[in-house]
Amino acid sequence: MNKTKRVLIAGATGTLGMPLIRALTGKGYEVTGLTRSADKRGMLEQAGASAAVADALDARALEKVLKDCSPDWVVDLLTAIPKNGPTNFSHMSATNVLRTQGTENLLQASTGAGVKRIVGESMIFAPRLTLPFLVLFAYRLCQVRRGMPRLT
């Protein structure tokens, strides 16, 4: 008999986190959602996840969460994007700290807890860039990806 996979989603109450919780719980995964706000515990539980409240910038708190929920996989969706989205580069400052220090803390805690797989999400915002630049960027990204080995 297969053991149910346990997944911790860091940044679980965000735009990507909530649909991911519903998708994983719908497939039978045991999901723990990490949020820094105790007020969001009910939202996570209503979606079918257990809730863990900790700040990703607090390494010790993350270590405790990872040891307590003992996930097989961790999904890093940490952000602090303003509700109306970023309209200039300074709006990404808090997210940049989460994406560096928070992710480092999450990786360390995950490794210490024996997590088997860590999935990271990536994004790009370009509030002041023109459409031709973005098209060129996308084209160059495709060129780079063609030369990279496929990861499985």
Complete domains list, the chain, with CATH: 6-126 (3.40.50.720)
More confident call, 120 vs 151? 120
Q: How many helices (H) and strands (E) does the chain have?
A: 6, 5
Residue in 69, 62, 20 with CA at minimum distance from that of residue 44 = 20
pLDDT value at position 14? 87
pLDDT digits (tens, 9 = 90+) for 61-105: 999 999 999 999 999 999 887 777 777 777 778 888 888 899 999
pLDDT value at position 48? 96
The span from the CA of 77 to the CA of 56, in Å, is 11
pTM: 0.79
pLDDT digits (tens, 9 = 90+) for 5-35: 999 999 999 888 999 999 999 999 999 999 9
pLDDT value at position 47? 95
pLDDT value at position 129? 53
